Structure 1
Amino acid sequence: MAASGLGSAWGPLGLGILALGRRRPPRGLWALSRPLPGPAGSGRSVAAACGSGATGTDRYCLELLRTRDYEGYLCSLLFPAEFRNSVFALRAFNVELAQVRDSVSEKTIGLMRMQFWKKTVEDIYCDNPPHQPVAIELWKAVKRHRLTKRWLVKIIDEREKNLEDKTYRNIQELENYAENTQSSLLYLTLEVLGVKDIHADHAASHIGKAQGIVTCLRATPYHGSRRKVFLPMDICMLHGVSQEDFLQKNQDKSVRNVIYDIASQAHLHLNHARSFHKSVPVKAFPAFLQTVALENYLKKIQQVDFDIFHPFLQQKNTLLPLSLYIQSWRKRY
């Protein structure tokens, strides 16, 4: 199925912000994501200064997210205050693992870092966390919410496998990776919120898969700059596209068809997750706020006719804080 002209088949995307008319957002909303004036490198943020209570190890997690996972940081700010530090800890743990592959020059070093986190999880469940900020905050979250160890281990194991830098053979391999990383993180987030519900778990599974697919798409230009391509080979072969086509930033119809097929799979998962909306407890909705950013990216890539290298896709969405707030206020995901 060709990408050109078929974007409309997805139906209307977006959050219907215009329905709010000219109402101004709450005064403090934009402050949540804006650095406060201060010495260069101080990292002082309004979120830290206005009620997050972030000092020491929890401040470290907050700042790690703000600089390395900005969308996750914004989503976390909208959690009820009593759960916020635990969510920061989980997302910071995920960032620590996610950045290993790109921050080491040799696989051996990456394996050593993964081994550190494996031992750290074991020590956390023995009430003996190492003196590392994320580890300490993760230990607090585990103690506070009795988090399931299996999900933490799954995330580490899957990230460790990914150190191989192997291309996904098919879309199912990419979905499995997303399930074991992104979905596992959502299962833990639901535990923080005290949600034990099969419908919420099903939604988390599909949102995690959508997140993994979108992340793979968003990272394609970056990976291409490093002479690497991780898009599923089965879809590339279906359209007669080689890795070199992506390395050369080829923009012909067949390349866009590859992106269309992959993006459509993410869109299907997002729709499937939303099909459980009426059955999922409202208490679980903060865990699923990331759907706002996912939908925003899928809408943008549709607008550029699935040109994965279009500069528009690299532009920061300045309305994201407002969109997240609206979705949180509407109790939707």
Structure 2
Amino acid sequence: MKLKSGFTQVSHCMTLVRKHDYEHYLCTLLLPKPVQPVVFALRSYNIEVALIKDTVSEVAIGKMKLTFWRDAINTIFKKGSNDKLPDHPVVNLLAQAVKECNLNKIWLSRLLDARETDLTRTSYHQTKELEDYCENTSSSLFYLTLEALGIKDVHSDHVASHIGKAQGIVTLLRAAGYYRSKRQVLIPLDILMRHGSSQEEFLRGEATPSLINSTYDLASLANAHLLKAISLADKIPKGAAARVFLPAVATRSFLEDLERVDFNPYSERLRLRRPSLPMTLLWKAFRNKYY
């Protein structure tokens, strides 16, 4: 598996992932070298569409930008088409990855659909809505990575689903301070109501018992998905499959850090990057473990 890609395209994608998704940058470097450009293309695609919501002032503009990506994906998968792809490093590298690895369009499209729905989202009413969003975004990227490695295994798919959900929930918790600055609270409303909390309480940023309990519930849900993924570790194929799921190490580390600050999602300590993470990931990769 060797993409006929120019150095500039791969370098662009690597730089993009390193800037916006450092943990996945480290994890991708620990995958087999031939597949690394593919995964950097996939992660770059995710970053490009994820950033749209935060970089546009109007929903209509966001939808126009997503249309660019939808048209690009459709052109990539249009067999026998003479349509020219846009001159974009991520699009071009992604096109090569799709062709070389026979990637499934459904996961790329599902991720795009989820991002489009997210353009107008201001809250989640039910926890399942959040889990579905995480499945459609984070889990889809794991499914694509498994495809890139040629891994077709039902247990690996189950692990991908659970780790994707755990990672998506943790991403939301990590961004609690950012969302607060935008006057948004994405903790599902059913969890807030269970503890007598409210969005206004989260916007005030006070570590009240109901805020802490709501955060604890969401963190516990992420941890439950991680534990389920770990319980399947002995059933997935030996070798590269475990490395696909290395991002679970960072997800678990954040949950441990969150517990240390008593589940206060606004604690400044959660902003600190663990300096030991690169070595931890290397050690886990060496042992073919993701927990």
Does residue 1:281 correspond to 2:237, yes or no? yes
Q: CA RMSD in A?
A: 1.1
Return closer, same or farther for 1:109/1:272 CA change in 2, 3 Å cut-off.
same
Question: Shift of residue 302 of structure 1?
Answer: 0.5
Q: Which has the higher helix share?
A: 2
Counterparts of 2:243 and 2:98, CA distance in 1: 19
Match of 1:95 among 36, 47, 51: 47
Could you say what secondary structure the match of 1:195 adopts?
A: coil
Question: In structure 2, how many angstroms separate the alpha carbons of the residues matched to 1:198 and 1:172?
Answer: 22
2: distance between equivalents of 1:220 and 1:157? Answer: 23
CA contact under 8 A between 1:62 and 1:73: conserved in structure 2?
Answer: yes
In structure 1, how many angstroms separate the alpha carbons of the residues matched to 2:144 and 2:62?
Answer: 24
TM-score by length of 1: 0.83
CA deviations 1:194-236 (Å, max 9, x no partner) are: 1000000000000000011101111111100111111100000
* 1:293 alignment counterpart: 250
Per-residue CA deviations over 1:212-269 (Å, capped at 9, x if unaligned) read: 1101111111100111111100000110111111111010111100000000000000
**Residue of structure 1 in register with 2:128 after alignment:** 172
**Pairing 1:76–2:28 present:** yes
Question: What is the CA deviation profile of residues 119-153 of structure 1, one whole-angstrom value per residue up to 9, with x for unaligned ones?
Answer: 00011113643210000010010011000001100
Asked whether the 8 Å contact 1:54–1:62 carries over to 2, the reply is no
What secondary structure does 1:164 align onto? coil
1:201 corresponds, among 111, 133, 157, to 157
CA contact (8 A) 2:53 2:62 kept: yes
State which of 206, 215, 226 in structure 1 corresponds to 2:182.
226
Q: Aligned residue for 1:186?
A: 142
> Is 1:271 aligned to residue 256 of structure 2?
no
Equivalent position of 1:328 in the other structure: 285
- Which blocks of at least 5 consecutive residues in structure 2 are unaligned? none
Asked if residue 116 in structure 1 is aligned to residue 116 in structure 2, the reply is no
Q: State the distance in 2 between where 1:179 and 1:233 align.
A: 19
Deviating above 6 A after TM superposition, structure 1's stretches of 4 or more consecutive aligned residues are none
The question of whether the paired residues in 2 share the 8 Å contact of 1:89 and 1:141 is answered with yes
Q: Deviations over 1:76-121 (max 9, x none)?
A: 1111111000010000000001111001110001000111111000
Larger Rg: 1
For residues 208 and 184 of structure 2, the distance between their equivalents in structure 1, rounded to whole angstroms, comes to: 19
Tell me what 1:148 maps to.
104
Q: How far apart are 1:54 and its partner, in Å? A: 7.3
Task: Give aligned-pair identity as a percent.
Answer: 44
Using the size of structure 2 for normalisation, the TM-score is 0.95
Greater alpha carbon shift after TM alignment, 126-135 vs 61-70: 126-135
Deviation per CA, 1:275-306, whole angstroms, max 9, x where unpaired?
11111012311210100110100000001110
State the AA in 2 paired with 1:148.
N
8 Å CA contact 1:301, 1:308 repeated in 2: yes
**In the aligned structure 2, how far is the partner of 1:280 from the partner of 1:169?**
34
Q: Return the structure number with greater relative CO, CA threshold 8 A, min gap 6.
A: 1
Q: Which amino acid aligns with 1:144?
A: E
